[in-house]
């Protein structure tokens, strides 16, 4: 049975101020680094066989905390990047709402293609889902930890499970440095074993984008 741990990166200053990151390369802040150091021993105890990460620095640095404990290399995969938020990237959510009110309303309502050059949920799920499957294929029957992003994790996991985006909206968002656990076997295929697992070091405000 293959175990796939899909791990969201630690906190950033843009998380804390509700600024849209998307594929902008924003580093972890002090809280984010603390979160990664706190989570890493819990994941190391699962005895991972491989670590894969988005090439954006907030995910790569999160993965590095686990690599430091396990001695495993971190494989980078650009397909694990967060959803591209088009014309919103770099904006505070309040500014996005003011400048793009129709698109913002559609996004909040869960429209899979809200406009403003934002990557569609279908494209995001296919991109990240393929990367997750390739990561799992590195060590069939092993444990693979993948460090990625909140929106990317949701849609990528949903793609593997075959869940529609309307179903995914009923699942809570991953907190910073929390993870989802999937298992795969030849009979059941991919199935969800746990979601939003981890330790909260202290409350962190902000939207998971």
Structural contact between residues 157 and 181, judged by C-beta atoms closer than 8 angstroms = no
Was 9 annotated as part of a binding site? yes
| Residue 84 labeled ligand binder | no
149 is in an annotated binding site: no
Is 82 considered catalytic here? yes
> Known binder of ligand: residue 58?
yes
Quote the Cα angle for 107-89-4, to 5°: 75
* Beta-strand relationship, 143-148 and 50-53: parallel
Whether 15 has a binding-site annotation, put simply, is: yes
**Catalytic residue flag (residue 165):** no
Residue 47 among known ligand-binding residues: no
Q: How do 2-8 and 143-148 pair as beta strands?
A: parallel
Q: Could you say which of 34, 82, 119, 181 is catalytic?
A: 82
Check the annotation: does 198 bind a ligand: no
Question: Any known ligand binding at 14?
Answer: yes
Count H helices and E strands in the chain, helices first.
8, 6
Can you say whether residue 207 is alpha, beta or left, with left for phi > 0 and alpha for psi between -120 and 50 degrees?
beta
Catalytic pick among 9, 149, 159, 165: 9
**Collapsing DSSP states into helix, strand and coil, what is residue 120?**
coil
Residues annotated in a binding site for substrate: 8-15, 58
Residues that are catalytic: 9, 82
Residues annotated in a binding site: 8-15, 58
């Amino acid at each position: 049975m293959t175990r796939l741990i899909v791990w969201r990166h630690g906190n950033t200053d843009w998380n804390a101020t509700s600024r849209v990151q998307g594929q902008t390369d924003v580093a972890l802040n002090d809280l984010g680094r603390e979160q990664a150091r706190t989570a890493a021993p819990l994941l190391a105890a699962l005895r991972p066989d491989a670590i894969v990460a988005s090439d954006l620095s907030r995910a790569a640095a999160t993965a590095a905390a686990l690599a430091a404990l396990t001695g495993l290399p971190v494989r980078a995969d650009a397909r694990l990047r967060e959803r591209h938020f088009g014309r919103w990237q770099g904006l505070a959510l309040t500014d996005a709402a003011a400048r793009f009110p129709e698109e913002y309303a559609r996004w909040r309502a869960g429209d899979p293609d809200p406009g403003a050059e934002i990557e569609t949920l279908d494209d995001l799920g296919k991109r990240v889902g393929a990367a997750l499957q390739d990561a799992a294929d590195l060590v069939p029957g092993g444990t693979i930890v993948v460090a990625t992003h909140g929106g990317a994790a949701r849609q990528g996991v949903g793609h593997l499970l075959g869940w529609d985006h309307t179903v995914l909206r009923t699942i809570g968002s991953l907190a910073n440095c929390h993870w989802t656990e999937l298992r795969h076997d030849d009979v059941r295929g991919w199935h969800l074993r746990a979601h939003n697992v981890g330790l909260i070091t202290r409350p962190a405000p902000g939207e998971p984008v």
